[in-house]
Amino acid sequence: MSVAEKNIVLHVADVHKHFGGLHALSDIDLEVEEGKTHAIIGPNGAGKSTLLNVIIGKLAPSKGAVVFDGQILTGKKPHEINQMGVVRVFQTPEIFPDLSVLQNVMTPAFAKRDGAYRANIWKPLEAETEIREEAEAILEDVGLHERRDVHAGALSRGDKRRMELAMCLIQHPRLLLLDEPTAGMSRHDTNTTIDLLKKIKARGMTKVIIEHDMHVVFSLADHISVLAGGRIIAEGAPNEVRGNPKVQEAYLGGAHDLGAHSK
């Protein structure tokens, strides 16, 4: 057996979440390894979004804790958790439709470097040049560089998502969380998004992705946790999970083939 140590970036430890009498999450334990893409799948109402909201601090667990990078997140505010490098994609708080794509991507970086502005009157110019260069490089990566001067409000849905991803990447996340990143997208935009997420993965960024689309899950995930009725009913490598009859039954009610879109 390999003695290589796993580096666990995120540990959800015995988390429960009740809404009154409703047990949205029970006994949730999961570990996310550095550099991996960890998918959380399950039917509607399984508790996936609730789990994500507990991780980012939007919801307090009724019991248990979330540990990120050795620090307990539970009890911290969402913006504090964000400052620690936990970034949720496609929930960008503010997009400025009248500003250019480039300006939109630069904005989160300015917000983070605010201190530098006050420290030295010459810093703003230096910082702006640096941030602009980085924003341009990221726009190149997400395939939006040619549209950098377009008003964000004029972007297509697919391009807007690319811009939102760029706005997250400029924050240098240590953990990227995605809640159904391809929901409502055409097959073409879905495939472009998969390619983009693969590219990020190649750089070693750790991701937790909640996804309905099996094509997306099996294209990206290293590890899958299956939620049903607020509990993790199975987990493992994609092929293990795919072949698990319990998963087929609980997740899909036996009506679908888990591998249908993944060949």
Considering the rule CB under 5 A, would residue 100 count as an interface residue with Mg ion?
no
Which one, 107 or 182, has the nearer CB to Mg ion?
182
How many residues make up the chain in this entry?
A: 263
Q: Which does 108 bind (CB under 5 to 8 A by kind): Mg ion, ligand ADP, none?
A: none
Among 38, 48, 88, 215, binds ligand ADP (CB under 6 A): 48
The token pair that represents 150 in the structure block: 């377009």
Name residues contacting Mg ion, limited to 106-165 (CB under 5 A).
none
Q: What are phi and psi of 11, to 5 degrees?
A: -130, 115
Residue owning tokens 């935009």 = 189
Which one, 109 or 208, has the nearer CB to ligand ADP?
208
Assess contact for 174 and 206: CB atoms under 8 A.
yes
Considering the rule CB under 5 A, would residue 49 count as an interface residue with Mg ion?
yes
Which segment (44-52, 87-95, 170-178, 187-195) binds Mg ion by CB under 5 A?
Answer: 44-52
The token pair that represents 243 in the structure block: 């072949």
Q: Which does 24 bind (CB under 5 to 8 A by kind): ligand ADP, Mg ion, none?
A: ligand ADP
Q: How far out from the chain centre does Cα 128 lie?
A: 27
Which one, 42 or 57, has the nearer CB to ligand ADP?
42
Give the pairing type, strands 22-33 and 71-72: unpaired
Considering the rule CB under 6 A, would residue 162 count as an interface residue with ligand ADP?
no
Q: Which residues of 71-107 are buried (b: 16+ CB within 10 A; e: fewer)?
A: eebbebebeebbebbbbbbbebeebeeeebbbbbbbb
Give the three-class secondary structure for 225: strand
To ligand ADP, the closest distance from the beta carbon of 61 in angstroms equals 13
Size of the site for ligand ADP (CB under 6 A): 11
Considering the rule CB under 6 A, would residue 47 count as an interface residue with ligand ADP?
yes
Closest CA to 16 of 51, 56, 48: 51
Residue owning tokens 């019991």 = 63
Which segment (45-53, 104-112, 154-162, 165-173) binds Mg ion by CB under 5 A?
Answer: 45-53
Q: Which does 47 bind (CB under 5 to 8 A by kind): Mg ion, ligand ADP, none?
A: ligand ADP
- Residue 137 identity (one-letter amino acid): A
Among 7, 19, 79, 249, binds ligand ADP (CB under 6 A): 19
Q: Site residues (CB under 6 A) for ligand ADP? A: 19, 22, 24, 42, 44-50
Q: Site residues (CB under 5 A) for Mg ion? A: 48-49
